Amino acid sequence: MDTVAFPDFIINGYRDALIALKELQENRYIAVIYKEINSDDGFIITAYFTSKVNLNDEVILWRRQ
């Protein structure tokens, strides 16, 4: 839930899903795929650890400042 609430990046997923990314180490992320129903409701589809994120190839919807 922390990754969705306080992500480092949010990128486009498939079929209206969003992917929240939190960098744990250099080039090592936790990715949480979720859908928002409205501003107060949504659900998590899955989560996984990955090092295969190339942010240059993704549509970044939001970036932590």
Domain boundaries, the chain: 2-63
| Phi and psi based region of residue 16 (left: phi greater than 0; alpha: psi -120 to 50; beta: remaining) | left
Q: Evaluate whether 51 touches 29 at the Cβ level (below 8 Å).
A: yes
**Claim: this prediction has a pTM higher than 0.75:** yes
Which percentage of the chain shows pLDDT scores above 70? 100
Report how far residue 7's alpha carbon sits from residue 21's, in angstroms, rounded to the nearest whole number.
6
Taking only the tens place, the pLDDT of each residue in 27-43 is: 899 999 999 999 899 99
